[in-house]
Structure 1
């Protein structure tokens, strides 16, 4: 069974939809080297360029289908499950399956925020 952002699991009113459409949780610009693995695929290196408790945006040269499960591994953390919300011109947006812990967000922002840290990868 295929799931998309338009069926009941991801449609209006769901957490995943709100995280992408309403941005109910703010995102911060970052530049974090990470690894992304799509369900049934191999992992690849990427750069996360915005991050929030509800989701992220990153680079992906290959088109990824909406709704597909993926796992994002940020430096020093275990993989976190998400679902692809969109892919356009080498960039993807995804909603985490659950909100990230605020301490994780703070650590990533302190280490990789474009506005705050010289550690950011350019």
Structure 2
């Protein structure tokens, strides 16, 4: 990915203009590069990224991996961390099919839904 494309992607992911954000509650695991995985709760999800609980400080630009139930780990990059919450941009946009399946599973009347 070129620097110009990466910059545009980072801005779009941070501003969340390239995809709607869905608020939900999904249990998962998050692992920062060089660190151990820890339990987390994803609070919102879009094609471009997510926000989740992160008790330990994470740093802007840090590479991490999000693992949700039934899915392989998704690589992302930390965009912000504040008050034990982290916002990350996926390295590659989430497939719309995978995104829609996650939303269907965890929103509405599901066990972890709102």
Q: What is the TM-score normalised by the length of structure 1? A: 0.84
Look up the match of 1:89.
83
Aligned pairs, number: 113
After superposition, the Cα gap between the structure-2 partners of 1:98 and 1:36, relative to the gap in structure 1 and judged at 3 Å, is same
Gaps of 5+ in 1: 1-7
Provide the C-alpha distance between the structure 2 equivalents of 1:95 and 1:10, rounded to a whole number of angstroms. 16
Look up the match of 2:23.
29
Q: Looking at secondary structure, tell me which structure has more helix per residue.
A: 2
1:107-122 mapped onto 2 (5 Å cutoff): 107-113=101-107, 116-120=108-112
Tell me if the contact between 1:33 and 1:121 (Cα under 8 Å) persists in the aligned partners: no
Provide the C-alpha distance between the structure 1 equivalents of 2:23 and 2:72, rounded to a whole number of angstroms. 21
Q: What is the TM-score normalised by the length of structure 2? A: 0.90
Look up the match of 1:68.
62
Which piece of structure 1 moves more, 56-65 or 14-23? 14-23
Gaps of 5+ in 2: none
Moved over 3 A (4+): 8-13
What's the C-alpha RMSD, in Å, of the aligned pairs?
2.1
Provide the C-alpha distance between the structure 2 equivalents of 1:120 and 1:10, rounded to a whole number of angstroms. 38
